C-alpha cells in the first residue's frame, strides 16, 4: 500500500521520493519541489553574470599602481647607481692616462728649465748637449709608447638578482611595518623605564631593550 504524501494537509498518495528533501511526495508536490529548485538557477546565473562583469571591469593598472610606483623608484635608483659607477670609472680612466702624461710633463718641464738656463748663461758643455739630447730622445720614446698603447678594460656583465623583487599578496586588514612612514622623531628609553609605551584596542607598543615591539 502506498504511503500518503508527506506534505502537510495533502491527501494524495505519494508517488516518488524527493531526492532534495528525502520525503515521499505526490506528483504535484514533486513538481513543486522541482520548480523550487529550478527557480534558484536564475539568481545563480545573475550572480555569475555580476562576477563576470566585475572581472571585465577590474582595473589591473589601478590595482597595481602602488607596486608599479615602487618598481619605478627601484628602476630610478638602479639607474642612479649605474650612472654613479659610470662617472667614477670614467674619472678613473682619465686619471689612469693623466698620470702617465703628468710624468712626461714633469720631465719635459725639467728639461725646458735646464735648457733655458744654458741658453741664458751661454756656457753649455758637450756633456750638457749629450745629456739633453739623450733625455729628449727618451721623452720621445716614452711619448711614442703612450700614443701606441691600447687601453684594455674588463667589464663584467651586470647581474641583477631577480629574487630581490618578490610579488605576493596581503590582506588589507593585516598590518605591515614596511607600510609605516620614516621615523620623524626618536625617544631615548632608559633601562629602568616602563615597558608599555602606548596601546589601542588592537595594538600594544612596548619597549623591550633594545627593541621597540608592536603586538597585535
HEC-encoded secondary structure of the chain: CCCECCCCCCCCECCEEECCCCEEECHHHHHHHHHHHHHCHHHHHHHHHHHHHHHHHCCHHHHCHHHHHHHHHHHHHHHHHHHHHHHHHHHHHHHHHHHHHHHHHHHHHHHHHHHHHHHHHCCCCHHHHHHHHHHHHHHHHHHHHHHHCCCCCCCCCCCCCHHHCCCCCCCCCCCCHHHCCCCCCCCCCCCCCCCEEEECCCCEEEEECCEEEEEC
Cis, peptide link before residue 210, omega less than 30° from 0: yes
User: Which of 209, 154, 205, 214 is CA-nearest to residue 178?
Assistant: 214
pLDDT value at position 45?
A: 92
pLDDT value at position 197?
A: 63
Higher pLDDT, 177 or 16: 16
Kindly report the pTM of this predicted structure.
0.52
Centre a 10 Å sphere on the Cβ of residue 62 and count the other Cβ atoms it contains.
8
Q: 165 pLDDT exceeds 70? A: yes
pLDDT value at position 182?
A: 61
Question: Each residue of 75-107: pLDDT tens digit?
Answer: 999 999 999 999 999 999 999 889 888 888 999
> Which pLDDT band holds residue 160 (cuts at 50, 70, 90)?
confident
> Which pLDDT band holds residue 1 (cuts at 50, 70, 90)?
low
Question: Each residue of 8-20: pLDDT tens digit?
Answer: 777 777 677 777 7
Cell of 53: 562583469
Question: Each residue of 28-70: pLDDT tens digit?
Answer: 777 877 777 788 888 899 999 999 999 999 898 888 888 899 9
pLDDT value at position 171?
A: 66
Angle at 181 between CA 180 and CA 187, to 5 degrees: 95
Amino acid at each position: 500500500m502506498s504511503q500518503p504524501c508527506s506534505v502537510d494537509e495533502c491527501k494524495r498518495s505519494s508517488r516518488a521520493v524527493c531526492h532534495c528533501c528525502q520525503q515521499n511526495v505526490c506528483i504535484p508536490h514533486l513538481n513543486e519541489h522541482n520548480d523550487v529548485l529550478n527557480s534558484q538557477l536564475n539568481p545563480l546565473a545573475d550572480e555569475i553574470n555580476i562576477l563576470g562583469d566585475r572581472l571585465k571591469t577590474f582595473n589591473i593598472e589601478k590595482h597595481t599602481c602602488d607596486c608599479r610606483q615602487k618598481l619605478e623608484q627601484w628602476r630610478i635608483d638602479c639607474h642612479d647607481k649605474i650612472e654613479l659607477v659610470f662617472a667614477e670609472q670614467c674619472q678613473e680612466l682619465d686619471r689612469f692616462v693623466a698620470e702617465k702624461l703628468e710624468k712626461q710633463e714633469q720631465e719635459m718641464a725639467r728639461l725646458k728649465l735646464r735648457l733655458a738656463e744654458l741658453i741664458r748663461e751661454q756656457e753649455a758643455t758637450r756633456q750638457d748637449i749629450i745629456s739633453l739630447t739623450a733625455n729628449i730622445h727618451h721623452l720621445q720614446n716614452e711619448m711614442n709608447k703612450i700614443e701606441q698603447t691600447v687601453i684594455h678594460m674588463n667589464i663584467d656583465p651586470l647581474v641583477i638578482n631577480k629574487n630581490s623583487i618578490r610579488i605576493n599578496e596581503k590582506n588589507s586588514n593585516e598590518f605591515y611595518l614596511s607600510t609605516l612612514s620614516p621615523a620623524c622623531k626618536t625617544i631615548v628609553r632608559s633601562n629602568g623605564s616602563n615597558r608599555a609605551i602606548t596601546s589601542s584596542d588592537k595594538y600594544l607598543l612596548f619597549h623591550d631593550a633594545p627593541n621597540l615591539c608592536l603586538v597585535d
